[in-house]
Structure 1
Amino acid sequence: MIAHDIALKIIFFSQTLVGVVGNSFLLGLYIITFFAGSRLRTIDMILTHLSFVNILVLLSKGIPQTMAAFGLNNFLDDIGCKFVFYFHRVARGLSLCTTSFLSGFQAITISPGSSRWAKIKPRVQKYMVPFCLFCWVLHMGSNGPILVYMKGPKGHKNTTSILDFDFCSVLFNPSFSTTISAFIIFLHDITCLIIMMWTSGSMVLVLYRHRQRVQYIRGSNLFSRPSLETRATQSILMLVGIFVFFNLINSVLTVYVQFAKTKLWLLNVSAFLAACFPACSPFVLIFSDSQVSTYYLIIREKIKLPSFIDY
């Protein structure tokens, strides 16, 4: 049991620390690059927003989970639990929304010029900021019931209607408003996942056709260097694949927890899976998107940063 507790402490602390550092590095890199006068890609605006909301996901979930693993189960009162879970759900929804938007935007970007999708690219760029604001408003509104039903740890005697999260608990009290909110969240999540899988399939098809054309033009050379656009698309595909994988597993586990009378180890696994994508995503971009290394080299030359990675 002691070894289990130590492992939980190390896992949650390491996952939160590594994820926050990675996302903060990306967020800082994009911001510094922008203020340094270098031109950012349009997609970098989406990646900047994704890094920011991923930090919120990790902080709002990882810190309480880590403190609970260290045995501090009563560090949040009712108000603290309300706001921690509220901001986690909002940030989690924004991460999902931003990732689906990122996938859709990249699919439109690499679509052939004759495609109907290429014609709407300027519109997507124009409405990018309003779309992000809409996502914030949507998730802040739809997760409002959390501020009502989330309570402190074991804050009620009627345990049959309580789902205990070790450091917080939620009181089940179904009503019309909570049902509508749950339906909106469920519909949003399903829609975003469908968009990600559909656009990912489109990108794979475009890349395959492009590869076939390149091989036909260049002969049998299978080792030609992929273009920057192709590498960026491959990075987005990796991000989407990681997100869908962890999200689907965590969704199934979350549903199971509702009927499993709240086994603590299931909640710990669910918390770990929920933070996997925010923790992994910055490193996927750092090591697979060549433009990230380009920005770093530019900034390093301007302000004399140390060399952390050899490119």
Structure 2
Amino acid sequence: MTAIGISGNILVLFFFHISIEDHKIRPTEKIISNLAVANLVWILTLGVPHSCFVFGLQYLYSDVSCKINTYVAKVSRAMAIDLTCFLSCLQYTTIMSSTPKWDKVKKKLQAYLIFIIPVLLLSNMTCCVALVLFTFSAANVTNMDYTFNLGYCLVIFPDKTSFLAHCLFLFSEDLTFVVLMILSSICILLILYKHNKRVKRVRNTDQNQEKTAERQAAKMVVTLVSLYVFFFGIENTIFLYQVTSSVKVHSTVSDIRYFFSTCFTSIFPIVIIVLNSKIKSRLRYFVCEKPTSLQEIFQARPSLTR
């Protein structure tokens, strides 16, 4: 799963980079490209160390490297959930009926996109700073009470109060964003259902083609949210059970939890490649036409496959 996640997210970033060069990238695709970066960092700082640990490579990190690795992993995880939530909310405003109110909201979200993502990053970096204080190398610790045991690193809290407070904060944060994702996705599905029921296909106009692209993007967003809720629902259920039943978060339970986290980062690029028409067109051109240089790939147009 780690290998699939790394290669898949790099592939998504590569093809979105081509779209950026062509100045043909939508706001939702900008968020998806940032989400691919967050997933890639996440799987490099979480999936790779866990894979090494499971295969017997222990004590790879010192205290300092453990702090850095765990901090970066936590920030990237927080960015993944924030961006997925923001993506679903933005897509909801995009497919809403054109009214002056919603047009204004949509334009503001799209215009301030370049500022919203850095703000989310800074806020997550600030919230995760406290985690650095409690992270140590597994080789240097004997006390395992109130501990997240990652195998290669340990996150040890000084007492039960701080341990439960941290766990409650993580769970409430995830729950808040998941609820927002679910609500926006339900609204998207209702809009798509009403539109399909009301409109009897009038095609071959630019407006209808744009609406079709928006609906396809909406389906992609709903699929991503569904996968996120499924995998992280399982992960958080295991997390909540472990926290409420023991003062130690054992490495075996962490392996199971983070496996489901890795599942989302690995399946995410597959969903994007399958449902994004730009990536599908360029990938089909790359496979079928076999371009001889990167320049030919960058110059490929979706029209070549029609």
TM-score of the superposition, structure 2-length normalised? Answer: 0.84
Tell me the secondary structure at the aligned position of residue 72 of structure 1: coil
Deviations 1:118-149 (A, max 9, x none): 33101001111211111111111111112110
Q: Is the partner of 1:265 in helix, strand or coil?
A: helix
SS of residue matched to 1:80: helix
Q: For residue 37 of structure 2, what is the aligned residue in structure 1? A: 52
Contact 2:135 / 2:156 at 8 angstroms: preserved in 1? Answer: yes
Q: Does 1:303 align with 2:290?
A: no
The answer to whether residue 228 in structure 2 is matched with residue 243 in structure 1 is yes
Gaps of 5+ in 1: 1-14, 219-225
Pair 1:24 & 2:10 matched: yes
Q: 1:266 to 1:205 in 2, by over 3 A?
A: same
- State the alpha-carbon separation in 1 of the partners of residues 240 and 179 from structure 2: 19
Q: 1:6 aligns to what?
A: none
Q: In angstroms, what is the RMSD of aligned CA positions? A: 2.9
Q: Which moved more, 1:231-240 or 1:287-296?
A: 287-296
Q: Which residue matches 1:194? A: 179
Q: Are 1:87 and 2:79 an aligned pair? A: no
| CA distances 1:266-301 after superposition (whole Å, capped 9, x unpaired) | 221111011111111111011122232245468887
Pick the aligned partner of 1:289 from 264, 273, 276: 276
CA–CA distance in 2 between the matches of 1:115 and 1:244? 32
User: Whole-Å Cα distance in 2 between the matches of residues 115 and 181 of structure 1?
Assistant: 43
Distance in structure 2 (CA, Å) of the matches to 1:55 and 1:78: 23
Query: Does residue 267 of structure 1 match 2:226?
Result: no
Q: What is the CA distance between 1:192 and its match in structure 2?
A: 1.3
Deviations 1:169-223 (A, max 9, x none): 12112499888766654443222112101100110000000110124989xxxxx
Distance between the aligned counterparts of 1:174 and 1:138, measured in 2? 26
Distance 1:267 1:125, change over 3 A: same
Aligned with residue 142 of structure 1, among 121, 127, 138: 127
Aligned length: 287
- Residues 43-192 of structure 1: pairs in structure 2 closer than 5 A: 43-114=28-99, 116-153=101-138, 155-174=140-159, 185-192=170-177
% identity of equivalent residues: 24
Change (3 A) 1:181 1:295: farther
Q: Which moved more, 1:186-195 or 1:248-257?
A: 186-195
- In the TM superposition, residue 30 of structure 1 has moved relative to its aligned partner by 1.1
Give, in whole Å, the separation in 2 of the partners of 1:236 and 1:73: 38
Structure 2 unmatched ranges of 5 or more: 204-210
TM-score calculated relative to the size of structure 1: 0.83
Give the drift of 1:39. Answer: 1.7
One-letter code aligned to 1:267: S
Which whole-Å CA distance do the structure 1 matches of 2:254 and 2:231 have between them? 15
Q: Aligned partners of 2:266, 2:17: CA distance in 1, in Å?
A: 20
User: Is the 1:100–1:196 contact (alpha carbons within 8 Å) kept by the matching residues of 2?
Assistant: yes
Q: For residues 18 and 278 of structure 1, what CA distance do their matches in structure 2 show?
A: 9
Partner SS state of residue 76, structure 1: coil
